[in-house]
Amino acid sequence: MLGTISREQVLAAEFEWRERALDWEWADDEEELVTAYHEAGHAIVGCALGAHIASVSLSQASMFDDEDEIGVRRFGDCIVQWGRIDPNSDWQVTRELLTILAGPVAEFVYQSGDEDALDVRTWAGDWRQAQRCVAILKKDPQQQTKLLHQCIAQLRHIVSSEPCWSAIAALADELMLGDEIEGEQVADLVRFWWSRA
Ligand SMILES: [Zn+2]
């Protein structure tokens, strides 16, 4: 029957719908921002350690595509190239290890070090790569764990200090605009913030 719903009821329903839409958008944006800080962490630390960053982006298309795949929530991408190097030298493996861990660490620092906010499953790929690196550097499993903890502690300090944090925040902001960021832009940010330090 028409005319049984009051104008107030319609307005209330519309208001509730809008509230939910806002909540939903906010949740998405927040998750995207966390990913932006994660990818920016890989890119800025890698670049500062001498890598050439091919590109870095938030590939939003896969955000929903991947929803059915168990454990796949990461939808950002950072492509790092090291050029002509000895892949097995300790220095090279260490640079890679720091660059890999810089993503999760930047995310952690962005979340104000709140361990409850962390979703370690999304780091599975980074974590596996990091473990591969420490296995090259140290034979003893206890030493491997110790090295991982040392690198994370060192990175937490570097990433949360200047000039690193400003460079990561600036890149995360650019990533949120949605375009793919080219390596030269990352290198410019590193030059800019490090020259002020
Ligand atoms: Zn990562």
Residue-wise pLDDT for 168-189, tens only, equals 999 999 999 988 999 999 999 9
User: For residue 105, how far is its CA from the centre of ligand 1 (angstroms)?
Assistant: 10
Q: Return the CATH number at 170.
A: 1.20.58.760
Residues with a beta carbon under 5 angstroms from ion ligand 1: 103, 126
> Quick check: is 158 in a domain?
yes
Nearest to 52 by CA among 77, 82, 76: 82
**Per the domain annotation, does 151 fall within a domain?**
yes
Q: What is the pLDDT of residues 114-167, one digit of tens each?
A: 766 666 666 788 888 999 999 999 999 999 999 999 999 999 999 999 999 999
Q: Are 173 and 195 in contact (CB under 8 A)?
A: no
Q: How far is the CA of 126 from the centre of ligand 1 (A)?
A: 5
b/e sequence 141-157, b meaning 16+ C-beta within 10 Å: eeebeebbeebbeebbe
pLDDT at position 121, please?
66
Give the structural domain span for 70. 32-192
Q: What is the pLDDT of residue 187?
A: 97
CA–centroid distance, residue 195 to ligand 1 (Å) = 27
Number of domains present in the structure of the chain: 1
Q: How far is the CA of 122 from the centre of ligand 1 (A)?
A: 8
